[in-house]
Every structure is written in structure tokens, then in C-alpha cells.
Amino acid sequence: MNSELYSIEGQGAPVGCVNAFGLAEWAHAGKLAGMQVRALNSGAYLSEDELWGVVQSVQLPPPVLRVPVQNVPVDGNQDPLRFVAPIHSSGWAIVASYLGLFSLVLIFAPFSLWAGLMALKDLKANPHKTGKGRAIFGLVMGAVFSLVLIGVIGSYLSSR
């Protein structure tokens, strides 16, 4: 292969300095229109025939076909890691489950109930998400301990 370097000049100003492979890429991309090519070793400008000979001496690899990537939502119900970590899960379901745990401290119970309802609404709107068990856990814990909270408040107020 030709190891000579070439200067690509447009309107007298240098545009780029490339080897024969780069020159062939420029030619195949159609970037050499109106440009002059000079061999740096000899300093002579190439005629069209000489330029074509250099371009033809290089074998370019075939162009890479780029396949567009489709943005398809991942179905979280098919992912086996969903049993280990809350991936593809509704954020509301995660919040509801933690608030359900904290509802043992009675002040968190109504928030757990509300987050469980929001999680079920989110899961209904986005069927590819997971976390229905977490949402139901938060809903049940929130409901049970909200009733306990109401009982505690009622007994406190009746004792006064």
C-alpha cells in the first residue's frame, strides 16, 4: 500500500493531511470536489488521473450498516431478577412497602395507605412495571395500622 502522505487543499489553504486510505475515504465521501491534492514527499499536485489511481489502489472496507435501535419498554414481569431487587418496579410500590414496614410506628400508617393506592394506580397505568405485591403490602399495613391509630387517638380523647 502507498505510504505517502497527501495534503488536501481547498482554495489554497490546507484542509487536511492524510495517507492514501484517508484520501480514498475523502474521495468516496465526495469531499474532494473543488479541492487540490498535493503529495507531501514530492510537493507536486496530483492530476485527476493520478488521484484516481491512488484512490483505486486502496481497498476500503464495506460500509457498516447501522440498524436503528427501537425503544421498546422492558417487561419487568419477565425479568428473573425482579425477585432479588426491585428493578422495573413502580416507585410508588417501593415507597408503599417501606411505609408499610414503618407503619408499626403509627404515624406512618396513613401515608402507607395513600402510597399503596397510588402504587396500584401507577401499576394499572403501566402494566410493564412490577411491584403489585409491595403495593398491596403497603395498602394492607397502612389500613390496619390506620385503624389502630384511630383507636389510639379515640381512646386518648375519651380518657380526657
**Residue ranges per structural domain of the chain:** 6-57, 85-159
Cell, residue 98:
417501606
pLDDT of residue 29: 82
pLDDT of residue 98: 94
Mean pLDDT of all residues in 32-46 = 84
pLDDT of residue 7: 85
pLDDT of residue 114: 96
pTM over 0.85: no
Beta bridge partners of 12: none
Cell, residue 54:
491512488
Cell, residue 1:
500500500
Closest CA relative to residue 46, chosen from 18, 81, 72: 18
Would you say how long the chain is, in residues?
Answer: 160
pLDDT of residue 50: 87
Region of residue 19 (left: phi > 0; alpha: psi -120 to 50; beta: else): beta
pLDDT of residue 103: 93
Which of the pair, 3 or 158, is modelled with greater confidence?
158
Report the share of the chain in percent with pLDDT over 70: 92
